[in-house]
Amino acid sequence: MSFDASNISTLTTIVVGFAFAGFLASAFEALTARRASFSLLLGKGPIVAASIPLLAFSAPFIIMRNTLRGRRFEDRPIGFVMAATIIAGFWSLGSGSLLRDALSLVAGA
């Protein structure tokens, strides 16, 4: 398997997306003393509106955290873990691409 520039760029984008997702989820937990989860969407009023951007970018981390905990404690099948990993990877690629593009726009490159 050879790594050309586009493969390295894609891998870097996925890693940046996962890292940013983990940072946002950890920052939310540090500031609110509560874990970021999709149950934030069940709230009312401005809390739901404020949680949408947070969940949009921290979703890969939340998906993987929930999946790995489910595998460890609930003995979920490995196929479920593989599917969730693929979903989180593509989501991370999308959010990493958006973050990369926004940073390049701000930097003027």
- Nearest Cα residue to 17 out of 81, 108, 88: 88
What global pTM score does this model have?
0.87
Name residues whose C-beta falls within 8 Å of residue 43's C-beta, 6 or more positions apart in sequence. Answer: 51
Neighbour tally for 71: CB within 10 Å:
15
Cα distance between residue 65 and residue 19, in whole Å: 13
Helix 5-32 with 78-107: angle, nearest 10 deg: 100
State the 10-residue block means of pLDDT for the chain, 109 residues long.
Answer: 84 95 96 92 88 94 94 90 96 95 88
